[in-house]
Chain A
């Protein structure tokens, strides 16, 4: 694929993804907006793919390698931290009827 054709494909995907994102996210209730932020935080941790490609670039010089190494640390922290924090948040959203008289609390 020529470089130009490649770019057009990428732009098409970008635009479609933005529309899809708006559709999906507008269905998230206010109640879950904090987990949404945290969950999307975890998703942009996908930049770890970029960090791996850079850190493992064959024949790269030392500078590239070290930049990739630091990027690797940041991206891995992003991925793991993002998913764990989101899980902790979502764990707390339990469905229970608003307690009545004989409620024991919880």
Chain B
């Protein structure tokens, strides 16, 4: 197949990918879009098999089969609650593949001087660097989400200095290659350095900042793919990588805006100190009112309108099915139930939406922040399940608060608030969320799933 013909056929792939993203604008067409994308991918693979001079041998089919089996089994077996880490994992392997393609290209081209044009070597370094950071970073994100390592931010003194020095060294090796020092060991320095950098880069980021990192790593893999396209002079790689890069960048900015923090602040400034107000001097005096599940069940049953506010705690306890059941019971009693979804609730963009969709919650009942906030004053009960920062009124009222300025769900404006939380030691002095001591708030302590199931039983018994 000649070069122009294959590029013409690759154009089909490009159109398929764009349609796939276009169809994602509505839940009714989204699934079809994904199939169109898969069809486009199939076209690209078949066209590549017919490239002149391609020696198919055993590596392509065997490697492809191993990867495909691994991918299919992993994707089929994973539980819906483990989606964030699965997204991180597949993102990482893509970055790794881009880095390896660059390494092989360099290894193949570099020995003969003059074969490596400046722009191609820049592309090789970029893909090797970004791809490796994405691979290592995604693996750390995977390990954090899978709880193989602590989800808490890991910090040590001089962290930024170490990171900067390392990045400087990687950059120096890269520039040396572009300048013409086509030594094999230099690209190894770039890749190994970038792997270490990826680990160090993601380790200090944790908790509520995870959605930002996941989307950023997604953008990185896209950029690495695009750079690979410049190495191989492949339009389909350039365009596809650019689409992914644009998507990841947009999501990253969106997450940053939802927390009213700059991306730089999330990645380098915070080091987790902002999260959950840990170590902040602000504390609120007041009495925490603890209630029983039976009381809450009565409160909910006689309400007109209940708004459920899910957070990461719901995901951890895997309480989404129980929540759906509770909503069903309440609706039988004529109670209007809606869900308030904060943009950064959970561990990746849109996390709560997928979990609730898994539990068969119809998506028209899921309300975004701007849509639901005006409704809280007319809400009888706001049921907060494992959310904390996204409902903290200090973000609105306390200029000294570390999360001041972050848009929140105004649950404190509803008539009554029930906060479900795992625990809070009695006599706790330094409460960081004034919502918990609000006279309208009742606390229901316990595992989110157990508590919700008790509520279901309570509502049924009435």
Contact = CB atoms under 8 A, between A and B. Distances in A.
A106 to B, nearest CB: 5
B364 interface: yes
Indicate the size class of the contact surface on chain A: 35 or more
Given A21-B247, A37-B349, A95 B225 contact: no
B247 A25 contact: yes
Contacts of A95: 27-28, 362-364
Given A77-B71, A99-B362, A21 B246 contact: yes
B48 to A, nearest CB: 5
A74 B365 CA distance: 39
A10 B224 CA distance: 15
B55 A56 contact: yes
Contacts of A91: 31
B107 A67 contact: yes
Contacts of A92: 80, 354, 357-358, 360
A9 B235 CA distance: 9
Contact of B244 (A6, A32, A44): A44
B222 A40 contact: yes
Interface in B205-264: 214-215, 218, 221-222, 224-226, 228-248, 250-251
Contacts of B38: 42, 83
Interface string A57-81: 1101101110111111111111111
B284 to A, nearest CB: 31
A37 B311 CA distance: 20
B238 A10 contact: yes
A10 B26 CA distance: 32
A33 B34 CA distance: 14
A71 B49 CA distance: 16
Contact of A45 (B94, B248, B334): B94
Given A34-B353, A69-B59, A24 B67 contact: no
B402 interface: no
Contacts of A97: 362, 364
Given A32-B350, A37-B348, A90-B31, A51 B244 contact: no
Q: Say whether chain B's binding surface is mostly helix, strand, loop, or mixed.
A: helix
Given A24-B22, A83-B37, A78 B107 contact: no
B423 interface: no
Contact of A36 (B86, B93, B105, B251): B251
B98 A103 contact: no
Nearest to A56: B54
Contacts of B328: 99, 103, 105
A35 B97 contact: no
Contacts of A49: 44-45, 48, 232, 234, 236-237
Given A31-B27, A76-B66, A81-B71, A71 B364 contact: no
B98 to A, nearest CB: 5
B21 A70 contact: no
B70 A73 contact: yes
B83 interface: yes
B285 interface: no
Contacts of B235: 10, 13
A69 B25 CA distance: 37
B45 A93 contact: no
A49 B357 CA distance: 34
A22 to B, nearest CB: 5
A83 to B, nearest CB: 5
B63 interface: yes
B75 A27 contact: no
B87 interface: yes
B91 interface: yes
A77 B67 contact: yes
Contacts of B48: 48-49, 52-53
Interface in B316-351: 324-325, 328, 331-332, 334, 337, 341, 343, 348-351
Contact of A75 (B67, B351, B368): B67
19 contacts: A3-B119, A13-B238, A17-B238, A43-B244, A47-B224, A50-B97, A50-B231, A52-B60, A54-B100, A56-B54, A58-B53, A69-B62, A72-B59, A72-B60, A73-B64, A76-B66, A82-B71, A92-B357, A93-B30
Interface of B: 13, 17-18, 20-22, 24-28, 30-31, 33-35, 37-38, 41, 44-45, 48-49, 51, 53-57, 59-60, 62-68, 70-72, 74-76, 78, 80, 83, 86-87, 89-91, 93-94, 96-98, 100-101, 103-105, 107-108, 117, 119, 214-215, 218, 221-222, 224-226, 228-248, 250-251, 324-325, 328, 331-332, 334, 337, 341, 343, 348-351, 353-354, 357-358, 360, 362-366, 368
Interface of A: 3, 6-7, 10, 13-14, 17-18, 20-22, 24-58, 60-61, 63-65, 67-101, 103, 105-106
Given A37-B215, A71-B104, 16 more contacts: A29-B26, A37-B349, A39-B33, A42-B34, A52-B54, A52-B60, A58-B53, A60-B108, A61-B107, A67-B107, A77-B93, A80-B67, A81-B89, A98-B337, A101-B331, A103-B332
Top 7 nearest A-B pairs (CB, nearest first) are A76-B67, A72-B63, A21-B246, A81-B71, A33-B350, A80-B71, A17-B242
